[in-house]
Amino acid sequence: MAKKSGSNMMNPNDQMHPDDRRNLVIFLIISLAMYFAFDHFVMKPKVEAMRAQQEAVRAAAVNGAPNAIDALVERPRDVVIGESTRLKIDNGQIFGSLPLVGNRIDDISLTDYFKTLGGSDHVVLMSPAGTPHPKYAEAGWIAANDGVKVPGKDTRWSVKGGGTPKLTKDKPVTLTWNNGSGLTFEREYSIDDHFVITLTQRVTNNGGSTARLYPYNLVAMQGMPEDFTGTWIAHEGPIGHIGGELHEVTYKDLGKKNEMSYNAPTGWIGITEKYWLTSLLPVQGEAMKYSFKSTPAATPNAKPHYQVDMMGTERVVGAGEKTEFVSHVYAGAKKVRILDLYEERLDVPHFDLAVDFGMYYFMTKPFFYFLTWLGHVTGNFGVAILIFTLLLRAAVFPLANTSFRSFAKLKQMAPQMTALREKYGHDKEQLQKELVALYGREKVNPAAGCLPILIQIPIFFALYKVLSVTIEMRHAPFFGWIQDLSQRDPTSLFNLFGLLPYDVPQVLVIGVWPCLMLFFMILQKSMNPPPQDPIQAKMLAIMPYFMTYIMSGFAAGLVIYWTFSNALSILQQYIINRSMGIEVKFFQRTPAEKKMEKMVAEGPVVHPGAELLEEQVEDALFGHDDNDGPKPVSPRKKKKK
């Protein structure tokens, strides 16, 4: 075959051969699995240990132990709340109270969500200063001219109309305060039927001088949230979509920079946790200054202060004039459809990005919608995952069919490959050439098995995101012992799945579903032809056990998906093998395959797929004359090192 020359011409010899591609895929899977393992078995225990240490310090402070000076200022949440006069809040989704002094939004709990599965303690989203995990939203005015007194944290507000009304979705509440110099400040609170509190701030100037004021809102927090996980899978910390750009700021980075500010006419800003969000949403269109801020801890035992805020444009209020500023506070669960609702209702751009759908957003969100629809139809998210898996396997059926037929042909060719290794076992180049010729005659592509794996990787991670970060999957049951699809299988092989009366360490919690997954992985491996690379053979031998240990710490829903997907793959491969006349013997190798495995382990390392790929690349680049008939493929030349 005549080859064209040129400085920009692709050299077929530089192409990655199929076996190397497969090795690269395996390397990537192992690397990602090791990363997951480090995150789950190393970083997560450290975060839990830090949290336990903090709780110990608080307990010591309560009991009067020394060296707990900073913890002494922390008191039980219900005690702090009970010390002030407050207005009740309840709309059926959130409940809490508003203090009249300072008037921060600092007491919010979620009606339908509990800290633990089957527990009775509601999830607490906001707590006042002086409690173990203070977080609150604040609003007010900043005076641009000296001598103008504005409301502060010690200001005592009065209820307009008197009494102590309850803030509900049908009944707003207005508070007033007069600064004694002619300015009257009002705050009107209203709440909808989900998670948004709307705050309208008004200023009336009854004095003789002009006031120049800037409205602001902030969300502040001291220390880390109570259920901070510290994992990479979901962003936790300050977040904002400002001027068309998403900002996900980690606590660590904010601690280094102390302040980051952006100016834009559109956006929102807040602090997110894995499942919960506290966010500020202004009326869009006004030029706003958005800021992420942090203040280091004053002492080694103190907590750093984190804050997100937004400030509006200047309001000039002359004598006899009024002004107002409307903003919204979202304090609730990150339910995707509710976030979408507010994105449309309040014209807030990309509010759904408060849920960390990750780099596969274009797949993750459609997966989420489809899974939740199936869950609603079937009444069980576990059943929805099984149906979803079945439909996915149907979608990739043609591609997988090609792969499995190639595997089946390779199993048929085992005696021929064994004979070639016997004949050319000590001549690496000739063995390579003969194997390539055999692949060509049989029209087998040894790289056919890589593409289905590559396609499944983004699907796997997209589904992992759906199960791990969406609150709709939190505490969603399956059947039997799986009562939370977002958590790991709680059973363990090492106490016979609960039959023996003792608990095992977390590192040994390898449940029923991971064991089922291991069974199907080994079963599928026994149906595949033995690899021609001894290193690859060793890696594939340990892969099922390694993946089982890693996956045992993943969400049970993900393990169920992978197990069922493997079972469907085995069924498809079994049908193809039988249709091609290949006898299927599970967990067994034919004598020819056993002999070939031994010869691969002892003989030269060859990559016959590389030569086949070179020929395909040359045909693609230069074409070939069909009348010339088949041409022998020359062995690949060794590259100079």
Backbone angles phi, psi at 574, to 5 degrees: -65, -45
Residues 506, 183: Cα–Cα separation, whole Å? 61
Average pLDDT, integer, range 409-422: 78
316: three-class secondary structure by DSSP: strand
Residue pair 292/259 in contact by the 8 Å Cβ criterion: yes
pLDDT value of residue 27? 66
pLDDT value of residue 91? 95
Average pLDDT, integer, range 111-125: 92
Comparing 270-279, 359-368, 590-599, the range with the smallest average pLDDT is: 590-599
pLDDT confidence tier of residue 159, bands split at 50, 70 and 90: very high
pLDDT value of residue 391? 92
Q: Extract the tokens encoding 14.
A: 């530089």
Portion of the chain with pLDDT greater than 70, in percent: 79
pLDDT value of residue 464? 85
pLDDT per residue as tens digits for the range 162-215: 888 999 999 999 999 999 989 999 999 999 999 999 999 999 999 888 999 999
Residue pair 208/233 in contact by the 8 Å Cβ criterion: no
Residue burial 322-339, b: 16+ Cβ < 10 Å; e: rest: ebebebbbbbbbbbbebb
Q: Which candidate, 452, 451, 449, 428, places its Cα nearest to that of 608? A: 428
CA atoms in the 13 A half-sphere facing the CB of 31: 6
Average pLDDT, integer, range 553-559: 91
pLDDT per residue as tens digits for the range 241-289: 999 999 999 999 998 888 999 999 999 999 999 999 999 999 999 999 9
Residues 552, 491: Cα–Cα separation, whole Å? 10
pLDDT per residue as tens digits for the range 2-55: 444 343 434 434 445 555 566 666 666 676 666 666 666 655 665 555 455 444
pLDDT greater than 50 at residue 67: no
Q: Extract the tokens encoding 198.
A: 């709307």
Tell me 590's DSSP state.
-
pLDDT value of residue 14? 44
CA distances from residue 167 to 97, 125, 177, 345, 418 in whole angstroms, order as listed:
9, 18, 19, 21, 81
pLDDT value of residue 396? 79
Portion of the chain with pLDDT greater than 90, in percent: 48
Q: What's the pTM? A: 0.76
pLDDT per residue as tens digits for the range 218-229: 999 999 888 888
Higher pLDDT, 230 or 343: 343
pLDDT value of residue 639? 41
Residue pair 553/464 in contact by the 8 Å Cβ criterion: no
pLDDT value of residue 611? 47
pLDDT value of residue 585? 74
For the beta sheet containing 158-159, the strands, ordered from the edge strand earlier in sequence to the opposite edge, are 158-159, 173-178, 183-191, 196-205, 322-333, 276-282, 267-272, 237-242, 245-248
Average pLDDT, integer, range 417-446: 78
pLDDT value of residue 617? 39
Residues 119, 113: Cα–Cα separation, whole Å? 9
pLDDT confidence tier of residue 583, bands split at 50, 70 and 90: confident
pLDDT value of residue 9? 39
Greatest mean pLDDT among 20-29, 86-95, 144-153, 158-167 lies in 86-95
H or E element: which one contains 124? strand 122-126
Residues 251, 561: Cα–Cα separation, whole Å? 34
pLDDT greater than 60 at residue 57: no
> Following DSSP, what letter does each residue of 163-175 receive, concatenated?
S---BBTTB-EEE
Residues 274, 270: Cα–Cα separation, whole Å? 13
pLDDT value of residue 40? 60
